[in-house]
Chains A and B, each alone.
Chain A
Amino acid sequence: MTTTTDPTARQRLLDLHRAGALAANYPAVRRLLAEVDAEDLARCGQLLARLDPADVLVAHPEQPVLTVAITGHGTVEPLVPPLTAELARHGLLLRPHVADFDSYVFDLSDPDSALYRAEPDIVLCLLDPRVVFDEVPTPWGPDDVERVFAEKLALIEGLLTRFTATTSATLVLNTVPLPRDRGAQLLDYRSRGRLGVVWREANARLLTLAQQRSNLVVIDLDPLIAEGPAAVDPRLSVYAGAHLSAELLTGYAREVGHLARQLTGRTKKVLALDLDGTLWGGILAEDGADGITVAGGYAGAAFAAFRELVKQIGSQGVLLAVVSKNDAEPVSAVLREHPDLGLTEDDFVRVVANWLPKSDNLRALADALNLGVDSFVFVDDSTFECGLVRHELPEVAVVQVGTDPATHLGALLRDGWFDTRALTATDRIRAATYRAELARRDLLDSFATLDDYLRQLDLEVRFAAATDAEVPRVSQMSLRTNQFNLTTQRWQENDVRAALADPARQVLTIRVRDRFGDSGIVGVVSYRRDGAVGHIDNFVLSCRVFSRGVEQACLSALLGHARESGVEAVQGVYRPTAKNHGVREFYPRHGFEPVDGPDPTYRHDLTRIAPPPDHVRLVLGDPVDPARAEGTPA
């Protein structure tokens, strides 16, 4: 099943061909090919294969080009058009060297052959059933096949040694299909079965060759044939000596395209996924977390299988991300809480859920990950979103999944976007590494942004002794504040008044105002002097003014005041509660050292007192004192 086809893409390519303008417009070809389906891709390949690569390179010297030598047992020319199209899809220009009929032994064994002289990046040696059956006598039995195939394997190993000594190119072999019309010539099941055994053993040995060699890839044709195409087209085989069908070569070319991607550093690294209609059925914003189709029923099972694939891909070093048009919180809730999803926020390097254009989100994600957008694969079921991303970010590989989730899996796997030669230990932990790095960057980013924000806030902090009029508010703050409340000492109004009346104690209020307005009292500090030591009995701050430097400014002023008054050290206590773990590090972060005490207790020796943040204008003393207010710009 194909995804969407733009009916005009092939037509536009055809128009360029008719106008003789394909070479001049070669950079546009990749984008056009992204929009055509498999059948049209083959037709486009016919046209592109007529181009002289030299003409393209004259017009576009920067165009990446790959020299591929094609050799084999039979006529190999039919591979050129599909391979041209597949490489063009990936932004590569094919410079083919097409060997003569049945010349692979000579091509690969003579170091001075035309094939080696072409200085190929990749050498494709097509192995077809006739490699073996051309040398099997008539009549024949399984033993004949076993003997001939073994001879061919020995030959190939010798060629491989010569190849390795001659070139740094990558050699591509393939397993050899066993056509039914060979086995069917053996009339007894036992012989037919034995043919299957010797054939598969020989193919297994071919595959084994590549396990130990870094310059050899063996493409297994069995999975391609399992998809449906006949391995051999009898007319092409008999009349043209081309012993593998055009359909099979199309699939083979696709695999070579993936190999070309990784050899040229084009392997995709990030899988960015839509949610609604892609990872689950339904629309979260409309159907709610309970209404989306996650795992139940026919469609649910299909979505579940697709998510398992996503997880499988993610486990092999590919970074997973969500790019969804949704509100962030419901998406986060589903990922966190849905019992059947099988994917959590931890599986994704980032979950982007907002209403910005997805192309913007992909670009931002690429920046954050320090990767190019060309390392992204984007999966979505929406024609609009896929079209937008194709248009805005042509380097992104767009996989449009259809309306039937049963086909999602095949659509994503159809291209080996993430194929790689070998996985390393680093690949397996890459997602975690990237997540940690993203968190660090986020922190940095938020500080940078916050700093700019704070500077233009025109923040004024007044830190002064509480007045009688302020008693209710001071009490209220001590009762209601849970997060930034270091001892969670609760004061009724009478307790506040008693404290105000105690000459050994000071109750200080924090008022904040900025260009947007006056927040009133947002904090309370209770301080007491005991001989040479000052004690901060409590420090309370409203969550409305967190992270603005208010607490640093006040603490700095308090410590400075203590030193001036002859105190040698100031101590503070943190009494943990269920809610105040956010200020667990408040004292140590501000220059206090831990000391012994019933609760975590910290001590500042007042030798080095951090100054107030420079974006804060600190006003000390009585807020109603006109003399002090005067020096304060409005």
Chain B
Amino acid sequence: MTADEFVDLVRDELGLDISAEHLDRGFDQVPGWNSINSLRLLALLERAVGKPLSVPDLLSAPTLGSVYALAAGG
């Protein structure tokens, strides 16, 4: 999964209006973000990468970019 695909996933599946520049910002600067979205994104990422991901790791990630890194590299 590329960073662009990750951004598209967040935009098209969660409906959040973000762009690549949001990847490095804190979640408080991501419009509409909450813990429910984190878990929705987790389920989407697990389906995309085909393996389970750690929820505590994901919930403690400071930025969208670090969530992407967890999914892409983990």
Residue ranges of A at the interface with B (Cβ–Cβ < 8 Å): 14, 17-18, 43, 46-50, 75, 77-78, 235-236, 239-240, 242
Q: Are A77 and B15 in contact (CB under 8 A)?
A: no
Shortest C-beta distance, A238 to chain B (Å), equals 8
Q: Are B15 and A240 in contact (CB under 8 A)?
A: no
Chain A residues with CB under 8 A of B55: 235, 239
Q: Are B11 and A18 in contact (CB under 8 A)?
A: yes
Q: Are B39 and A240 in contact (CB under 8 A)?
A: yes
Complex interface bits, B55-72 against A, C-beta within 8 A gives 1, otherwise 0: 100010000000000000
Q: Which one of A46, A49, A75, A77 contacts B13 once the chains associate, using CB atoms below 8 Å? A: A46
Q: Are A17 and B34 in contact (CB under 8 A)?
A: no
- CB-nearest residue of chain B to A241: B35
A50-B32, A77-B34 are known contacts. Are A239 and B39 too (CB-CB below 8 A)? yes
| Complexed CA–CA distance, A236 and B16 (Å) | 20
| Complexed CA–CA distance, A265 and B61 (Å) | 48
A17, A46, A242: residue with the most chain B Cβ atoms closer than 10 Å: A46
| Complexed CA–CA distance, A50 and B55 (Å) | 24
Give the interface SS of chain B, mostly helix, strand, loop or mixed.
helix
Say yes or no: is B23 at the interface (Cβ < 8 Å to chain A). no
Say yes or no: is B5 at the interface (Cβ < 8 Å to chain A). no
- CB-nearest residue of chain B to A43: B13
Say yes or no: is B30 at the interface (Cβ < 8 Å to chain A). no
Q: Are A46 and B36 in contact (CB under 8 A)?
A: no
| Complexed CA–CA distance, A60 and B9 (Å) | 30
| Complexed CA–CA distance, A472 and B56 (Å) | 106
- CB-nearest residue of chain B to A239: B55
- CB-nearest residue of chain B to A44: B15
The bracket for how many chain B residues form the interface is: 10 to 19
Q: Are A75 and B36 in contact (CB under 8 A)?
A: yes
14 contacts between A and B (CB under 8 A): A14-B12, A43-B13, A46-B15, A46-B40, A50-B16, A50-B17, A75-B35, A78-B36, A235-B39, A235-B55, A239-B35, A239-B38, A239-B59, A240-B39
| Complexed CA–CA distance, A48 and B14 (Å) | 10
Chain A residues with CB under 8 A of B35: 75, 239-240
Q: Which one of B14, B32, B36 contacts A240 once the chains associate, using CB atoms below 8 Å? A: B36
Please report the number of residue pairs spanning A and B whose Cβ atoms sit closer than 8 angstroms.
38
| Complexed CA–CA distance, A78 and B39 (Å) | 11
Residue ranges of B at the interface with A (Cβ–Cβ < 8 Å): 11-17, 32, 34-36, 38-40, 42, 55, 59
| Complexed CA–CA distance, A47 and B17 (Å) | 10
| Complexed CA–CA distance, A239 and B39 (Å) | 8
Chain B residues with CB under 8 A of A47: 12, 15
Chain B residues with CB under 8 A of A78: 36
- CB-nearest residue of chain A to B56: A239
- CB-nearest residue of chain A to B8: A18
Chain B residues with CB under 8 A of A43: 13
Chain A residues with CB under 8 A of B38: 239-240
- CB-nearest residue of chain B to A49: B15
- CB-nearest residue of chain A to B14: A46
A235-B55, A239-B55, A239-B59 are known contacts. Are A50 and B36 too (CB-CB below 8 A)? no
Shortest C-beta distance, A51 to chain B (Å), equals 9
| Complexed CA–CA distance, A46 and B34 (Å) | 14
Q: Are A17 and B15 in contact (CB under 8 A)?
A: yes
Chain A residues with CB under 8 A of B32: 50
A17, A77, A240: residue with the most chain B Cβ atoms closer than 10 Å: A240
Known: A47-B15, A75-B36, A239-B38. 13 other contacts (CB 8 A): A17-B12, A17-B15, A18-B11, A46-B13, A48-B15, A49-B15, A50-B16, A50-B17, A75-B35, A239-B55, A240-B35, A240-B39, A242-B36
| Complexed CA–CA distance, A129 and B36 (Å) | 19
Q: Are A77 and B36 in contact (CB under 8 A)?
A: yes
Instruction: State the 7 A-B residue pairs at the shortest beta-carbon distance, nearest first.
Output: A50-B15, A47-B15, A46-B15, A240-B35, A77-B36, A240-B36, A240-B39
Shortest C-beta distance, A317 to chain B (Å), equals 40
Chain B residues with CB under 8 A of A46: 13-15, 40
- CB-nearest residue of chain B to A80: B36
| Complexed CA–CA distance, A157 and B35 (Å) | 32
- CB-nearest residue of chain B to A17: B15
Shortest C-beta distance, B67 to chain A (Å), equals 14
| Complexed CA–CA distance, A43 and B12 (Å) | 9
| Complexed CA–CA distance, A50 and B16 (Å) | 8
Q: Are A236 and B15 in contact (CB under 8 A)?
A: no
| Complexed CA–CA distance, A50 and B17 (Å) | 9
| Complexed CA–CA distance, A235 and B38 (Å) | 11
Shortest C-beta distance, A108 to chain B (Å), equals 23
| Complexed CA–CA distance, A409 and B32 (Å) | 41
| Complexed CA–CA distance, A235 and B46 (Å) | 13
| Complexed CA–CA distance, A50 and B38 (Å) | 16
Q: Are B39 and A236 in contact (CB under 8 A)?
A: yes
| Complexed CA–CA distance, A236 and B36 (Å) | 8
Chain B residues with CB under 8 A of A49: 15
| Complexed CA–CA distance, A17 and B8 (Å) | 12
- CB-nearest residue of chain A to B35: A240
| Complexed CA–CA distance, A14 and B9 (Å) | 12
Chain A residues with CB under 8 A of B16: 50
Chain A residues with CB under 8 A of B59: 239
| Complexed CA–CA distance, A77 and B42 (Å) | 17
Shortest C-beta distance, A71 to chain B (Å), equals 16
| Complexed CA–CA distance, A49 and B14 (Å) | 10
| Complexed CA–CA distance, A77 and B59 (Å) | 18
| Complexed CA–CA distance, A239 and B40 (Å) | 12
Shortest C-beta distance, A63 to chain B (Å), equals 20
| Complexed CA–CA distance, A47 and B32 (Å) | 12
- CB-nearest residue of chain B to A78: B36
Shortest C-beta distance, B61 to chain A (Å), equals 13
Chain B residues with CB under 8 A of A50: 15-17, 32
| Complexed CA–CA distance, A242 and B14 (Å) | 17
